[in-house]
Amino acid sequence: MIENKTALRGDGWTTRLTASSSAGAARYPWDGLDRRTMPGFWLFASLGKRVLRPGGIALTKWMLEALSIGPEDDVVEYAPGMGVTARLTLARNPRSYAAVERDARAAALLRNYFNGAAGRCCLHGDAVDPLPFADGSATVVYGESMLTIHPDDDKERILREVYRVLRPGGRFAMQEISILPENTPAELGERIRRELVRAVCHPARPQTTVRWREVLEERGFTVMAEAKRPVHLLEPCRLLEDEGAEEAIGFLANTLMDPVASDRVRRIRALFERYGDHLCGYCCVCRKPE
């Protein structure tokens, strides 16, 4: 079972856990942030959008199905954000669940959802830090929209830690932004990355699907299954699919009532439309060898 070993380690996690227990007067991760410059995912969440993954809720559900999470599993999730995937995972009744979230207020919100349930925890810390879990203590680890934001050295550090925490035969999955097609010229790929960073006000380093696969295989993982979906998270049909009618209408109404938010959402959507043939949500499920 996943257990928090922070009391046995001097890696800063205890301090972070203590600091995250009182997030201050601000309740949500976007409270106090300027909508002109806050990261795109918190902008969307502040307007009422909860599904923030590039391939939408359908790709997340495909990922969880491919991972086959059940009552015998000990699960670690990176960057749970608003907890949408966490709730779907917990509905599968894993033996234990632990999350790592670098935003203290998002971590606090997820812990409130647990309501003190045994075998559930959310740590406040950075994905690049060593996890306070024993070697081979997890059967499943996954992260969505997490590796994309990290440079190559950090990607390697994170995946090395995932490999350590997984027991032999354990499963790892990621859902990230990918560049299409595989032979996209380097100049175009770099232009897409630069424009994406400017639009979402956050680091973004998407790879081609072949490169994502290579990154995993270089770390020792065996790829089991892959899936792709367009990055249509701001299209009407995807909004309905991801959020439901009432929430989708609420998101659109909140956006239209805020000129700053409306301008940013339009620009991000225009970017996704402009490079629609070159961007996708890519999900890969792999295994640590026995």
Any domain includes 63: yes
Any domain includes 24: yes
Q: What is the pLDDT of residue 1?
A: 72
Domain that holds residue 33: 6-287
Q: What is the pLDDT of residue 115?
A: 87
Q: What is the pLDDT of residue 22?
A: 42
- For residue 95, what are the contacts with CB-CB under 8 A and spacing of at least 6? 1, 71, 72, 73, 74, 119
- For residue 124, what are the contacts with CB-CB under 8 A and spacing of at least 6? 16, 17, 19, 20, 101, 102, 103, 104, 107
Q: What is the pLDDT of residue 21?
A: 39
Q: What is the pLDDT of residue 25?
A: 52
Q: How many domains does the chain have?
A: 1
Give the residue ranges of DSSP H helices in 147-226. 152-165, 186-200, 209-218
Any domain includes 58: yes
| CATH code of the domain covering residue 279 | 3.40.50.150
List for the chain the helix, strand, coil content (%; round to 5). Answer: 45, 20, 35
Per-residue pLDDT of the chain (290 residues; tens, 9 = 90+): 776 554 323 344 432 333 333 444 568 999 999 999 999 999 999 999 999 999 999 999 999 999 999 999 999 999 999 999 999 999 999 999 999 999 999 999 999 999 889 999 999 999 999 999 999 999 999 999 999 999 999 999 999 999 999 999 999 999 999 999 999 999 999 999 999 999 999 999 999 999 999 999 999 999 999 999 999 999 999 999 999 999 999 999 999 999 999 999 999 999 999 999 999 999 999 999 99
Phi, psi of 232 (to 5 degrees): -115, 30
- Site of tokens 């909004």: 239
Query: Which residues face 96 on adjacent strands?
Result: 74
Any domain includes 102: yes
Any domain includes 73: yes
Residue 281, CA atoms < 13 Å, CB-side half-sphere: 22
Any domain includes 1: no
The dihedral of CA 233, 247, 243, 39: what is its sign? positive
Q: What is the pLDDT of residue 17?
A: 37
